[in-house]
Amino acid sequence: MTELLIIKPSSLGDIVHGLQVATTLKAQCQDLRISWIVREMFAPLVRICEAVDQVYVFERTGGAKAFLKLMREVRKTKFDYVFDFQGLLRTGLMTKRTLAKKKIGRTDAREMAGIFYDEKVPLPPDGRRSHALDILLQFCPVLGVKPELSGTVKFREAESLNLKFADGRGGAKPILMFPDSRRVEKRWGGFKQLTEMILKEDRSRKVVWAGSNYLPDRNSFSPNQFLNLTGNTSLVSLPALIRRADWVITNDSGPMHLAAAQGVRTFGIFGPTDPRLFGPYPLNGPTNFVIQAPVGDLKLLPAKDVYARLERARARFTR
C-alpha cells in the first residue's frame, strides 16, 4: 500500500482541481491510499470524494495549539509521499512536520516554502501562464502517471440525496446558476435578466439559484419556474445538485470548477480573470463554455450577449 498525503487547505476551486488530480492518481495507481489536509470549511466536500480515504482538518484560526494538534495526528502515519499542492509557508511547515520518505512541492512555491521539499515538480511548458490544473497535474509523474486527467470526480452519498424539488415540469433538468463569487470584481450583475430570458423562452424549464451567500430575487419569478437556494446550499449537497443540472452557469468561482470536474455542461462568465488560466478545465472540452466581458469589465457585458452565447452553446446539443 502506497500512502500519499496531499496538502491543499483552500480555496474551493483549487481544492476541486486537487480532487481531479487525486481521482487521476487513484484511477491509475494500484493500492494507493490518499490522505488530505484541508481547512474545516471545505472538509465536508473532501470527505465525500471517492478518491480520498482520510481527511485531516486544519483549523486556520486555531493558532499554534491547533496546528501542533493537527500535526501530531498526521505524524501517526508514515507516508511514502507528501504533495504540497498549495506552496505557501504554512503548508511548507506542514510538509516539514510530516513523516514521509519523499516530500514534493511546487517549483513556483512562495513564502520560502520550497526549502521544506526534497523535490520540486517542474512547471508545464507554458510556465506560470499555464492553467492552474495543468500545474497540479505535474505531480502525477512522481507516481509514474501521465500528467493528464483520467475520469470525472465522483462523490459518496451524492446520488442518495432527494433533489427532485429542483426539477422543472415533467422532471426536466434545471438550469443551475451561481450568481455570487468570492471577489466582487468577478461578480456579474446580469443573472436576474438572464433568468428572465431563459424562463420566457421555455416555460417548462426551471432555473435554480444556489450558493453560500443569500442573494434576493425579490419574488420576481413564478415558484413553478424558479427556486432560490442562495444562502441555503451546503457543500455536501453541492455535488449532487450540480449533477442534477442540465447546465451550470456561474461567475469565475469554485462551483464552476466543480461542475466541470463532474462533466456537467458548464458556462463560465469571466471579467478580469483569464479563462485560459482559470476557466473550466479543459477549456476546449465538449461541455465547457465561457464568455469574457469586454476589456475584462463585467459591467460592460449585457445579459443579451450572455444569452446569445449560451444559446449557441446549447444548440450544439440539440442538433
Within 10 angstroms of residue 136's Cβ, the number of other Cβ atoms is 25
Measure the CA–CA gap between 263 and 247, rounded to whole angstroms.
11
Strand, coil or helix: what is 67? Answer: helix
- Does 311 score more than 80 pLDDT? yes
Measure the CA–CA gap between 116 and 87, rounded to whole angstroms.
10
- Does 159 score more than 60 pLDDT? no
Residue 289 has a pLDDT of 98
Q: Measured between alpha carbons, how far is residue 18 from residues 25, 194, 264, 270 in Å?
A: 11, 32, 18, 22
Strand, coil or helix: what is 209? Answer: strand
Residue 39 has a pLDDT of 97
- Which phi and psi angles does 130 have, rounded to 5°? -90, 160
pLDDT tens digit sequence for 166-187: 777 777 899 999 999 988 999 9
In the numeric block, the cell 482538518 is attached to 57
Residue 162 has a pLDDT of 66
> Could you tell me the pTM of the whole model?
0.94
**Nearest Cα to 291, choosing from 260, 258, 268, 257?**
268
Q: Which domains does the chain have, with CATH numbers?
A: 2-143 (3.40.50.2000), 161-315 (3.40.50.2000)
Bridge partners of residue 63, in order along the sequence:
none
Measure the CA–CA gap between 172 and 26, rounded to whole angstroms.
34
Measure the CA–CA gap between 10 and 117, rounded to whole angstroms.
20
Within 10 angstroms of residue 319's Cβ, the number of other Cβ atoms is 4
Within 10 angstroms of residue 29's Cβ, the number of other Cβ atoms is 16
pLDDT tens digit sequence for 47-80: 999 999 999 999 999 999 999 999 999 999 999 9
Measure the CA–CA gap between 100 and 80, rounded to whole angstroms.
5
- The confidence band for 161, taking pLDDT boundaries of 50, 70 and 90, is low
Residue 250 carries which DSSP code? E
CB 112 within 8 A of CB 95: no
Give every CB contact of residue 300 below 8 A, 6+ residues apart in sequence.
293, 294
